[in-house]
Amino acid sequence: MIELHGLTVRYGSTVAVDDVHLDLPTGKIYGLLGRNGSGKTSLLSALASYRRPASGTVRIDGADAFENPAVMRQTCFIRDTLDVNDSERVRAVLCFAGWMRPGWDAGYAARLTDLFELDPRKRISALSRGQRSALGAVLGLAARAPLTILDETYLGMDAVARSHFYRELLADYLARPRTIILSTHLIEEVADILERVIILDRGRVLLHEEADELRGRGVTVTGPAEAVGTFAGGHPVLGERSLGGVREVTLDWRPEPADVARGEAAGLTFGPVGIQDLFIHLTSASQRLEAVR
């Protein structure tokens, strides 16, 4: 179990992570979502023991994580900045990872290096932005750490490389289950592989749910403006738009079949809300939702 209790991260007077409480069962793929500046990297840095919290605790299997060698050996944190020496060659970076990571699979790393078309002889400084991202993916996947944290590792990758990354991540996770936390802005691309979703907004947890529950949580309702207004009454409205006499609203509500039948009888149509659309609506309207609740 990963436990974050009262976790707060500050940079001077700026509060990046604000009193976060999370219990995360291990052995799942988590999606950590949030707008720029929401506190995702700060939270992950504290979880990976890269940063001491201003207050609160991070415990993994009951042990304090910060400066705990036993915990840190089992944690792999790959940031988009790729924390390696630019003067080193790719093969040296992979060799060093093998020394540092108890679960390192050199054969798998070599296969991934070929898959992403990385030249082991190249220096890090000579890699393109996409190649640096691909190297980060190799380091994160081949480490096979029980806690693997990938903070926007895909940045710079083209569509083909990202497809390779997602496929390898899911296949290796299924073969060797572990806890993977994936921070991303490309929500639609990863939505199908996520098991749980955490949404941060202004340093606080706005939502933590099973991905399957989240996929069915919202609904769009479209039809005559008056009928839509009547149907939506009393339910949190995440977004809306109108054209002439037609109105569409996105509701934070899962209607029962009887509700849908009643709406259809009034000329309304219903549609699902994907995780990305729900994320946009929730983070755009978080202050209003907090006031409603």
DSSP string, 74-115: TEEEEETT--S-TTSBHHHHHHHHHHH-TT--HHHHHHHHHH
Closest CA to 141 of 65, 71, 78: 78
In a domain, 287, yes or no: no
In a domain, 156, yes or no: yes
Per-residue confidence in pLDDT tens, the chain, 293 aa: 899 999 999 999 899 999 999 999 999 999 999 998 899 999 999 999 888 999 999 999 888 988 888 888 899 999 888 888 899 999 999 999 999 899 999 999 999 999 999 999 999 999 999 999 999 999 999 999 999 999 998 888 999 999 999 999 999 999 999 999 999 888 888 998 999 999 999 999 999 999 988 877 889 999 999 999 999 988 888 888 899 899 999 888 888 999 999 999 999 999 988 888 888 888 875 444 443 34
Whether 206 and 259 map to the same domain: the answer is: no
In a domain, 279, yes or no: no
In a domain, 289, yes or no: no
Whether 94 and 239 map to the same domain: the answer is: no
Whether 181 and 239 map to the same domain: the answer is: no
In a domain, 74, yes or no: yes
Instruction: Indicate if the alpha-carbon torsion angle 220, 223, 224, 227 is positive or negative.
Output: negative
Whether 238 and 168 map to the same domain: the answer is: no
Whether 78 and 39 map to the same domain: the answer is: yes
Q: Which two tokens stand for residue 215?
A: 């996929």
Range of the domain at 262: 218-272
Whether 148 and 268 map to the same domain: the answer is: no
Q: What is the CATH number of the domain that holds 13?
A: 3.40.50.300
Residue with tokens 């738009």: 241
**What is the tally of structural domains in the chain?**
2
Whether 115 and 240 map to the same domain: the answer is: no
Q: CA torsion angle for 268, 272, 277, 281 (degrees, to 10)?
A: 50
Whether 56 and 201 map to the same domain: the answer is: yes
pTM of the prediction? 0.85
